[in-house]
Amino acid sequence: MKTELLLLFILSTGFFCKGQNETKVLELKKQQYFTEQNILSSDTTISLLQEVCYDVPEVSDEAYCLKLDILILDSTKALQSRRIYINKDSSIVKCIFKRHSYMPTPKNGATINISGTINIISWGKRSVALDMNLKIIDKNWNHIYIYKGKRNFLRKHYKKNCC
């Protein structure tokens, strides 16, 4: 059982692969042991947190989470344009991606590149709906993460899942 879980971890994360593997993040929640949260929060900046976590109960050290934090820096401009280009519209939006794991992050000084668009479908005080089309290249793990699809971000408390 542990060997099968380790193999699943290696295949799903591309941990030992030299080429870049690709993961369709928004489809992971359909698989066993994956959970997803889409949370809207705001203090001075509106934050849309999209988190997908993998965790097998009662098995240690294999858990990991993929966290994409979309910070809306200028909500007026975001609502006017509705389609936001991540690289071009840096005064409107900032995206931060992190992969949390019990496995140490490779110390190779590599970077994370994020590109693509987000379309605002609806915007309210309690929820924001987005249609995302993002590509994240994580050179630390030599992996590509694709965020393609619609998500509804709800105002609620964040529950830390792992790592």
Specify the DSSP class assigned to residue 55.
-
pLDDT in tens, 105-123: 666 666 899 999 999 999 9
Alpha-carbon gap, residue 79 to 77, rounded angstroms: 5
Judge whether 6 and 131 are in contact, CB under 8 Å. no
Check: pTM over 0.85? Answer yes or no: no
Average pLDDT, 10 consecutive residues per value, the chain (163 residues)? 43 50 96 95 90 88 90 95 96 94 71 96 95 94 95 82 62
- For the chain, what are the domain ranges? 2-155
- What are the two backbone dihedrals, phi and then psi, of residue 74, each rounded to the nearest 5 degrees? -140, 95
Radius of gyration of the chain (CA): 16
- In 3D space, the residue among 117, 120, 114, 84 whose CA is nearest the CA of residue 99 turns out to be 114
pLDDT in tens, 71-89: 999 999 999 999 999 999 9
Alpha-carbon gap, residue 93 to 48, rounded angstroms: 11
Token pair recorded at residue 7:
């193999």
